[in-house]
């Protein structure tokens, strides 16, 4: 997942590790014990290039490593972004996937949202079942825990319903009408191929 996030962020512009970490935190708080080893691994795998930021002018601050997306990295991003297997809607992956929805094909978006919905609904049913027989087998605190979990699940299902409805409206508006490309606010100008 970090891989996808890094690829996606470097898509915008080359960055050094610290900047990457800060941008990453807008998506999810990855630990730096995760970020740097991943950058190394991706660098070895050829998905990104690292170049020493050489600016003699400044006697610069410890010559930061600047990471830049490579062609294989771009391909890998497309590959990851088009994956809609079961992992794509798991808790740890879903938020990162959503963060790059603007660069995800609409059909994939729908599939991910619906998979996620099924998953959360299933969890919700499990929590309901547990709560239903909570009196017999749970202590008060455990029951409260599941109540919170259930509320979370219900909240997320409603949220997903909104997103799905929005997607449908958009796709419905585009398909029959032909190419619109308008809908500003969805993403700002992601069509620039760099």
Interacting residue ranges for DNA, rule: CB under 7 A: 1-3, 16-19, 21, 28-34, 36-41, 59-62, 64-65, 86-87, 90, 92
HEC states along 155-191?
HHHHHHHHHHHHHHHHHHHHCCCCCCCCCCCCCCCCC
Q: Is residue 131 a contact point for a second copy (CB under 8 A)?
A: no
18 or 159: CB nearest a second copy: 159
Which one of the spans 52-60, 64-72, 78-86, 99-107 is the region binding a second copy (CB under 8 A)? 99-107
Question: Within 13 Å and on the Cβ side, how many CA atoms surround 161?
Answer: 7
Residues numbered 21 to 60 that lie near a second copy (CB under 8 A) are 26-27
Tokens of 141: 């605190």
Least CB distance from residue 29 to a second copy, whole Å?
9
Least CB distance from residue 65 to DNA, whole Å?
4
Contacts of 89 (CB under 8 A, 6+ apart): 97, 112, 115, 116, 119
Q: Is residue 157 a contact point for a second copy (CB under 8 A)?
A: no
Choose which of 78, 121, 152, 174 interacts with a second copy (CB under 8 A).
152
Which one of the spans 46-54, 55-63, 77-85, 186-194 is the region binding a second copy (CB under 8 A)? 186-194
- Indicate the SS3 state at residue 68: strand
CB 67 within 8 A of CB 15: yes
192: partner contacted, choices DNA, a second copy, none (Cβ within 5-8 A by kind): none
Q: Are strands 65-69 and 15-16 parallel, antiparallel or unpaired?
A: antiparallel
Q: How far apart are the first and last CA of the chain?
A: 23
Q: Would you tell me which residues interact with a second copy (CB under 8 A)?
A: 26-27, 95, 98-99, 101-102, 130, 137-145, 147-148, 151-152, 155-156, 159, 163, 185-190, 193
């Amino acid at each position: 997942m970090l891989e996808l996030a890094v690829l996606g962020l470097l898509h915008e512009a080359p960055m050094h590790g610290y900047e990457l970490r800060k941008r990453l935190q807008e998506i999810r708080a990855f630990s730096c014990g995760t970020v740097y080893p991943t950058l190394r691994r991706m660098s070895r795998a050829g998905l990104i290039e690292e170049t020493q930021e050489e600016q003699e002018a400044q006697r610069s601050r410890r010559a930061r490593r600047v990471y830049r997306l490579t062609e294989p990295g771009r391909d890998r991003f497309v590959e990851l972004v088009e994956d809609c297997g079961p992992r794509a809607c798991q808790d740890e992956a879903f938020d990162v996937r959503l963060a790059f929805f603007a660069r995800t094909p609409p059909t994939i978006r729908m599939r991910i949202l619906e998979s996620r919905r099924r998953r959360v609904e299933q969890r919700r049913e499990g929590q309901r079942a547990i709560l239903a027989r909570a009196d017999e087998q749970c202590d008060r605190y455990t029951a409260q825990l599941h109540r919170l979990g259930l509320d979370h699940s219900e909240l997320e299902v409603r949220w997903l319903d909104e997103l799905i409805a929005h997607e449908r409206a958009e796709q419905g508006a585009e398909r029959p009408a032909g190419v619109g490309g308008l809908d500003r606010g969805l993403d700002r100008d992601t069509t620039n191929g760099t």
